[in-house]
Structures are given as C-alpha cells and as structure tokens.
C-alpha cells in the first residue's frame, strides 16, 4: 500500500517548468554561434572581446540558459595575423572526430597595405573549448570586409561540405569545401545566394547583409542572415530569412510584410547575427546578440550601441517560415528550453 501511495504521489507531481530571462550572457559577446558537443554540453563562440581580451570567446552551458565563459578558443594567433586585433564571427563544426573553427581575421599585411582586407580562416581542435590551432594559411583574402562571417554546413541531400559567408555590401555566398574541410574543393566556385538592395531608404535592412546560418527543416534549407548596421549611433539591425529546396539555392527571401525574423523594440537595439539549435523537445531556439537600451556601452568611453549581449528566444513557425514570437527580443521571464 505504501509503495502504491508513493507511486501515485510521484505520478501526480507537477512538472516543473524551467524559466530564464534575457540576456543569457550579460556582457559583450557578439555574433554567437552555438553547437552541442559530444560531451553533451552546449558551446557558443563569439567575436574577439572580453576582459581580458580573448581572440575567440567561448562559453559553455548544460541548459542553454546558464553560461560560463571558459576562456579563449584561439589563444595563439596565426602567424599570418599575429599583430592584428580583428578576429570576427566564428563558427564551429564538429566532424570526423574533430572540431573545426571557421573565422575571419585581418592579416598582418593589411596593417601596411590599405588595399587588403579581412580573410576567411580555419583552425582545428580535439575539444570543443579548444585550444584551436590555425591551419597556417587563410582560406581566402580580399579587399575590405567581403570575407567575413563564415558558416560551415554539411548538406544532408548532396553530402557536400559547404561554407557560406559574405558582407562588404555584397551577397551572401556559398562554396564547396574539400574533403579536409580546410580548403575549398578543387574546381569549385563561389555562388551568390542572397543579394543586397541598393537604396537610400534608411529603413531597409538589406542595404548590407551578413551573418549567414543555415538549417534544414522539412523540405527546405533555411538561410538566416542579418543587416543593415550592427552598431554605433546609427545602429539598425535585424534578422531575415530565405529558403530553398537546395542548399546552394536559388533562395527565396521571405516576402514583406512578414519577412523579418526579429528586430529591435523598446528594450533592445539592433538584434541580430544569430545561430539556431534544437532543444531536447525538438523546438528551435535562436541565440543572437542585441544592445540593452539601458546599458549600450561596456565602458563610458566606448561608442554607443557597442555592448552586444547574448539573447535567447524560441523560434515559432508560421506557414513554413520561422520568426521570434512578437518579432522582438523577449524581456522578463520566459519558458526555458527543454534539455537533458
């Protein structure tokens, strides 16, 4: 009888719903890219920053809401970029028993040659937190900031290893990686996927686009991207999305008036540059950065809208398209992801 009572008590006990509130990292942690590693933990990687400054910031979590910064994923700068302070927008792919870190950096040559801009690069490690070691040479360099924001994606349909990237007022592009994942495939060529809109309308988010992230849901590949201006006094930034039945396009951008995934609101300025991950219940969550209107700087001398904290919100689906509920970053207590 006692056993029956205890069993009945356990069966009727209410399920405790975990909650959280934004920001989930209340420090400058821009351009977050998230993975779930083989150890069961979540890892998120961010652009150079922190105190002390880390070339590639990395944090770890068991539940997507409580994060611990665990150090510098790239503690030793590559020989070709040993003097620069521009390590941007990392992305990590777990494959072949290793971890591959894709990032962009300014080469030392650019410090003396104004015509040379940032490069795409790749580094590897045996553990998700690193330390990652650079391959020894950039993947690709060019003028300005065209070669930034890399995102690696294995196409489940074709089996191809793909790398997306792009900005510099140009398109989001894709190119096939070679079997080693550290070079482009022989004979491959970059393909434009989503283009900018040339306009003087300051309300348009596609005057500049960047921050590609791809997921497959159902029959479609969804390409998230951000624009138009991440930071500063004229910060104007949001997340958009396009979809295609093929990972290499052609992509259809979600049409107006519903095309935005998330944009700023009364509490948050310039949200964007996202990554996406599923929780244990199969629900999609978006990690991205935004500026808290109450604290737009890390230090009084910093430029306004430069303290980009990490936010977390659930993606909902409307007629085959994803968006954050309410179209803006959440404030206050929210139901947390299901993780186990």
The pLDDT of residue 115: 57
Structure tokens at 256: 């107006």
Residue 124 in contact with residue 140, Cβ under 8 Å? no
Q: Is residue 92 part of a domain?
A: yes
The pLDDT of residue 200: 95
Q: Is residue 230 part of a domain?
A: yes
**CATH code for the domain in which residue 218 is found:** 2.115.10.20
> What's the pLDDT band for 6 if we cut at 50, 70, 90?
very low
DSSP state of 9: H
Query: Could you give the CA distance from residue 257 to residue 180 in angstroms, rounded to a whole number?
Result: 42
Does residue 72 have a pLDDT over 70? yes
Omega prior to 195 cis, within 30 of 0: no
Quote the number of domains for the chain: 1
Q: Is residue 3 part of a domain?
A: no
* Region 324-338 average pLDDT: 96
pLDDT in tens, 110-128: 776 665 799 999 999 999 9
Query: Could you give the CA distance from residue 254 to residue 46 in angstroms, rounded to a whole number?
Result: 27
What percentage of residues in the chain have a pLDDT greater than 70?
Answer: 94
Mean pLDDT estimate for the chain: 94
Q: Which domain holds residue 220?
A: 18-335
Q: Which of 15-19, 34-38, 142-146 has the highest mean pLDDT?
A: 34-38
The pLDDT of residue 133: 98
Q: Which residues, at least 6 apart from 52, have a Cβ–Cβ distance to it below 8 Å?
A: none
pLDDT in tens, 215-255: 999 999 999 999 999 999 999 999 999 999 999 999 999 99
294 versus 111: the higher-pLDDT residue is 294
Q: Is residue 199 part of a domain?
A: yes
The pLDDT of residue 110: 77
Q: Is residue 1 part of a domain?
A: no
DSSP helix/strand/coil, 95 = strand
The pLDDT of residue 111: 72
The pLDDT of residue 114: 61
Phi, psi for 4 (deg, rounded to 5): -65, -40
pLDDT in tens, 296-318: 999 999 999 999 999 999 999 99
* Region 79-99 average pLDDT: 96
The pLDDT of residue 340: 87
Structure tokens at 322: 């994803």
> What's the pLDDT band for 75 if we cut at 50, 70, 90?
very high
Query: Could you give the CA distance from residue 279 to residue 42 in angstroms, rounded to a whole number?
Result: 10
Does residue 14 have a pLDDT over 70? no
Q: Is residue 4 part of a domain?
A: no
Q: Is residue 9 part of a domain?
A: no
Does residue 7 have a pLDDT over 50? no
Phi, psi for 69 (deg, rounded to 5): -70, 125
* CA dihedral sign, ordered 32, 127, 132, 212: negative
pLDDT in tens, 270-283: 999 999 999 999 99
* Region 187-194 average pLDDT: 98
* Region 24-47 average pLDDT: 98
Q: Is residue 11 part of a domain?
A: no
């Amino acid at each position: 009888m006692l056993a029956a009572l205890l069993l009945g008590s356990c069966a009727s006990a209410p399920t405790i719903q975990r909650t959280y509130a934004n920001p989930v990292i209340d420090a400058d942690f821009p351009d977050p890219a998230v993975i779930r590693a083989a150890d069961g933990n979540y890892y998120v990687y961010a652009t150079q920053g922190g105190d002390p400054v880390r070339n590639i910031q990395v944090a770890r979590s068991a539940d997507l809401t409580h994060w611990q910064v665990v150090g510098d994923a790239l503690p030793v700068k590559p020989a070709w970029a040993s003097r620069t302070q521009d390590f941007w927008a990392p992305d990590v792919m777990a494959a072949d028993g290793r971890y591959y870190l894709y990032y962009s950096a300014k080469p030392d040559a650019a410090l003396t040659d104004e015509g040379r801009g940032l490069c795409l690069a790749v580094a590897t490690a045996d553990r998700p937190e690193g330390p990652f070691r650079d391959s020894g040479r950039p993947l690709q360099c060019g003028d300005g900031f065209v070669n930034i924001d890399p995102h690696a994606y294995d196409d489940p349909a074709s089996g191809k290893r793909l790398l997306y990237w792009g900005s510099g007022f140009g398109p989001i592009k894709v190119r096939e990686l070679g079997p080693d994942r550290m070079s482009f495939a022989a004979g491959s060529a970059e393909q434009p996927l989503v283009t900018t809109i040339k306009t003087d309308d300051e309300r348009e988010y596609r005057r500049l686009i960047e921050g590609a992230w791809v997921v497959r849901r159902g029959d479609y590949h969804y390409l998230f991207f951000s624009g138009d201006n991440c930071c500063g006094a004229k910060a104007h930034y949001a997340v958009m999305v396009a979809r295609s039945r093929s990972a290499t396009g052609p992509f259809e951008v979600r049409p107006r008036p519903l095309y935005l995934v998330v944009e700023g609101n009364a509490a948050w300025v310039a949200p964007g540059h996202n990554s996406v991950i599923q929780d244990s219940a199969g629900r999609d969550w978006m990690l991205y950065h935004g500026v808290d209107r109450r604290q737009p700087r890390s230090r009084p001398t910093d430029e306004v809208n430069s303290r980009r904290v990490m936010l977390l919100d659930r993606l909902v689906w409307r007629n085959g398209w994803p968006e954050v509920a309410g179209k803006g970053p959440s404030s206050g207590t929210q139901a947390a992801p299901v993780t186990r």
